[in-house]
Structure formats: structure tokens, C-alpha cells
Structure 1
Amino acid sequence: MKRFLPLIILFVSTACFAQQKSPVTFVNPPGVVTPKGYSQLVVIDMGTSKMLILSGQVGLDKDGALIGKGDVAKQIEQTFANIKAIVESQGGTMGDIVKLNFYLLDVANIQTLRNIRDKFINANHPPASTLVQVSKLFREDILVEIEATAVIPKKP
């Protein structure tokens, strides 16, 4: 029996571990384009709430068509619409966003970004944010990319 004890312990611990549900779920919500090679959203179960980590969003509609070619305002508007759709797909609101990261080709568009952002978020209690001017994004016609993190309290 002593010879088999390590194997029994290994079997039991492996079986118990396999039954535990991962707190992390990878999701591609229906309201946005399904990407190739990554997920639009990671949902982390934190017990009393869930954290949403969104991939960088751009001005693509749910079919993958660019909205606002050459128009940063239209691209920003579509990007925030995508963020809203993703957060709402998990039962949240834009008020649940705690962090935004902005990647702009031209920081001169910051006021346009702020004006549109403020239509989507609670401007009295804005999320933490970072803005970076970049020389290029993944496509020549993409002018802005925005990442978001949200924390949604679970209903009792």
C-alpha cells in the first residue's frame, strides 16, 4: 500500500483540481466583430464582482467594416459604441468602467476624444486613464484604439 500512496494522492489531487472551475472566461460577445487569434474580452470572477478586460477596440462595426475612414470623431464614436456593447453584454454599464487606455495617432485630437468620451462615461466620476500618441496602429486606416477595464458588482 505504501508504494501506491503517492499515486493515490496524485490521482485524488488531479481529480479535485480538474473539477475546479477557472475564474477566467474568454468571450467574443455578439455585438462586436469576432477577431482572429484573440478574444475581445476576458471575464474574471472575483467573487462579489467580475472584472472585464477588453482588448483594444477600434472603429470596426460588428461585421468588421471600418466606420469613419479618415474621420477620427466617427472612429472614436464607433469605438465607444463597441466598448459599451461589450460591457453591456456582461450585465454592466459604462459607469462600471474603471480604466481607459487611449492610443491616438495624433494627440491634437485629444479634445475630440474627450468630448465623445464624456457622452459615454460618467464625467463627474471618470475612470482612470492613459493617453499615448503612437506612430502607427495595426492598420493604416485606424486612427484610434481604446482599451477598457470594468468591474461589475454581482447582484445579491
Structure 2
Amino acid sequence: MSQLSHPTPAGVARANGYSHVATGPGRWVAIAGQVALDESGELVGPGDAGAQARQVFANLDACLQAAGATFADVVKLGIYVTDIAALPAIRVARDAYVDTANPPASTAVQVVALFKPEVLVEIEAYAIVAD
């Protein structure tokens, strides 16, 4: 069971779909930016940010499991997208994995390009796992 807390900072506008602060005791886990490559290294969802986001979150889930963590332990997501208009589709994929009542802190950034032109979404995660 997660021991994370999501305090609401005074004087900061209410967050919509993310938390401003997420904290908790335990072991720090950092997950490198994940893209929509399946286990054989093939791109999933060329031209489809929603399909890519679903694969990205599946990859993040596998990485978290390898570290003995779950999405309940995630305190921060860093979302890099080549077109910010894809954010609603990314949020749908995210919401299938995170607790939407207490979502992690998040940053979303539109970038000019990712490591391959056909990659539309890259997401990194940070978690704190209770000892």
C-alpha cells in the first residue's frame, strides 16, 4: 500500500488532472523516458499519439513492476510530446493507470522532435516505494 501524500499548497491554483506536490517515505525509483516500442523494438501506433501513449504506459508499468513498484507509487511524470494537441489522448491512456483522485505531479512539454521522427510521445516516471 502506498504511503504517498498529495498536499495542497496554499496560494497555488488548483491543479486539473495532476498534483502540484507528491511526497512519501521510501526507496526512490527513476524510470527513463519510455516510448511506444514493443518488446521486439517495433514502434506501436505510427501516427497515432493515443496508441503510442497506451504502449508507453504499458512499458512504464513493466518498468515499475521490475523495480517492485506500481503506479500507486509514482510521484512524478514527465511527458514529452511533439504536438501538445495530443495531450487529451495521452491523458486517457494515463488515467487507465493512475489514481485520478490523487494523480502524480506532472509536467507536459511540447518538443520539436524525439529520438526518431515517428515517435510522438515519451514519458518518464519517478516513484517512491515504501520500504
Fold conserved (TM > 0.5)? Answer: yes
Matched with 1:52 is 29
User: What fraction of aligned residue pairs are identical, expressed as a percent?
Assistant: 42
Q: Say which one has the larger Rg.
A: 1
* Alignment length (residue pairs): 107
Indicate whether 1:94 and 2:71 are aligned.
yes
What residue identity is the alignment partner of 2:83? D
1:120 shift after superposition: 0.7
TM-score (norm 1): 0.66
Cα distance in structure 1, aligned partners of 2:34 and 2:93: 15
Matched with 2:129 is 152
Give the alignment's Cα RMSD to 1 decimal: 1.0
Matched with 1:136 is 113
Superposed counterparts of 1:78-93, under 5 Å: 78-93=55-70
Cα distance in structure 2, aligned partners of 1:136 and 1:91: 32
| Higher RCO (C-alpha 8 Å, min separation 6) | 2
Unaligned stretches of 5+ residues in structure 1: 1-47
1:49 shift after superposition: 2.2
TM-score (norm 2): 0.79
Cα distance in structure 2, aligned partners of 1:148 and 1:113: 14
- For residues 80-109 of structure 1, give each alpha carbon's deviation from its aligned partner in whole angstroms, at most 9, with x where no partner exists: 000000101122111100000100111011
- For residues 111-136 of structure 1, give each alpha carbon's deviation from its aligned partner in whole angstroms, at most 9, with x where no partner exists: 11111111111111000000000111
Q: Which of the pair is proportionally richer in helix?
A: 1
Q: Which runs of 4+ in 1 moved over 2 A?
A: none
Matched with 2:92 is 115
Matched with 1:31 is none
